[in-house]
Every structure is written in C-alpha cells, then in structure tokens.
Amino acid sequence: MVRKLSFAFAVVFVLVVVTGWMPHFVTDTHMTMDGPERTLFGLFGMSILDDVTHGLSALLLLAASIKSRNASLLALTAFGWYYACDAAFFLIDGFLIHKPIVANILLNLPHVIIATIMLGMVYGLAPREDLRLGTARVATST
C-alpha cells in the first residue's frame, strides 16, 4: 500500500505541473521579480519554483515507489513534512498579512490534505500494516 501511495502522489504531482501549463486552467499571467507567474483557477499562483518543487516531488516519489517500501516511507515522510511546513508557513503568513480567511484556507488546503495523507500513511497506516503482516520493526537499544 505504501508503494502504491507513493506512486499515486508521483502521478498527482505530474498532473499539477502539467495543469499549470494548460491555457484553459490559467486565469492570469503576470511578471514578478522572480519571473513569470501563472494563476490557476483564479486562486493558485504557480511559478517556475512551484513547477520545480512539484516536479522534483514527482520524480523522487516515483523513484521511491519503484525502489522499495522503505524508500517510499522515507519519501512520504520527507515530503509529508515539507508540505506540512509549507502549508503552516503560508497559512500563518496569510493571517499576518490579513488575507481573507476563506481565500487563505482554500489556497493552502491542497498542501494540508497532501501532508495529512502522507504523514497519516507513515505514522498511522504503515505501522498497522507492519503489525498485521508481522513485520513490525523492534527498536533495539545499545
């Protein structure tokens, strides 16, 4: 299940990058100090940095899903915490700069959901799967 979820997220992130370049989803384009930024669905600002982040996430999650369950758990842990921190930083920033609360929540909701699913798998479902299959890892102290 862990490897399948890792693969599924790789596909999701590829779709995010591709969607960002489909003209019928782009509602606005403007220049920023960091280069061009596209607005998707009138809500999500997407830049080259976002494309690199989502593309790298896709590539590493795909590689992890191909490699092993442990690699998938590591990738889901790393990206789960990355997207959780990203969501927290931008939710707090939106609050501090007085962004409308509904817009702030909707803007950050995808990363909250992604982080929740990834970390839920790592810390909730994967350990239960280990116990069910009798493959639980026992910590040893030295």
pTM as predicted:
0.84
Please name the amino acid found at residue 3.
R
pLDDT at 91: 96
Under a CB-based contact definition with an 8 Å cutoff, are residues 88 and 123 in contact?
A: no
Displacement of CA 124 from its chain's centroid (Å): 18
What tokens appear for 131 in the block?
A: 């116990």
Q: Is the pLDDT reported for residue 22 higher than 80?
A: yes
- pLDDT tens-digit readout, 67-122: 999 999 999 999 999 999 999 999 999 999 999 999 999 999 999 999 999 999 99
Indicate the Cα dihedral angle 42, 11, 136, 120, nearest 10°.
Answer: 10
DSSP string, 83-101: HHHHHHHHHHHHHHTT--H
By C-alpha distance, which of 58, 32, 27 is closest to 47?
32
pLDDT at 108: 94
The beta strand positions in the chain, using DSSP E, are 26-32, 35-40, 44-46
Q: Are β-strands 26-32 and 35-40 bridged in parallel, bridged antiparallel, or unpaired?
A: antiparallel
pLDDT at 140: 43
Q: What's the half-sphere exposure (Cβ side, CA atoms, 13 Å) at 118?
A: 28
Calculate ∠ Cα 15-114-25, nearest 5°.
35
